[in-house]
Amino acid sequence: MRVKREYRDRAGTEVAVLDALVDRADDGMTVFELRAAVEAEIDDLEEALSTLKADGLIVVDSDGSETVIKPDDQVVPDEPLDVDDEETIGDWIRDRFPF
């Protein structure tokens, strides 16, 4: 599943993080799981997580032994978006040529 269209105009790493989290919205992901799911340098991932947290687009739950990151409800689409139908030329370029 992909994040709602209105959140797809963010930096490439931020969109990749949101997409990965939306796929696992109920369970959330640890930083290690996100690192494996998102093709980005650790510094870029850290910056993306910081920005998304500051903007209120992710929720960070810590139970002491493990920190789990989940998408905020506002970024999760009500219905799954078909990847092929929703990809714009801008999305395609952004995915292939990270800025």
Residue 79 has pLDDT above 80, yes or no: no
pLDDT in tens, 12-24: 888 899 888 888 8
- Boundaries of domain holding 65: 5-73
Q: 3-state DSSP call for residue 56? A: coil
CATH number where 55 lies: 1.10.10.10
CA distances from 79 to 23, 43, 83, 95 (A): 12, 32, 12, 23
Answer whether residue 85 shows pLDDT above 60: no
pLDDT grade for 81, boundaries at 50, 70 and 90: low
Task: Say whether 99 sits in a helix, a strand or coil.
Answer: coil
Q: Residue 43: which pLDDT band, with cuts at 50, 70 and 90?
A: very high
DSSP state of 65: S
Count of domains forming the chain: 1
pLDDT at 98: 65
* Angstrom distance (rounded) from CA 25 to CA 5: 17
The whole-model pTM stands at: 0.74
- For residue 87, being part of any structural domain is answered with no
> What's the token pair of residue 2?
């992909």
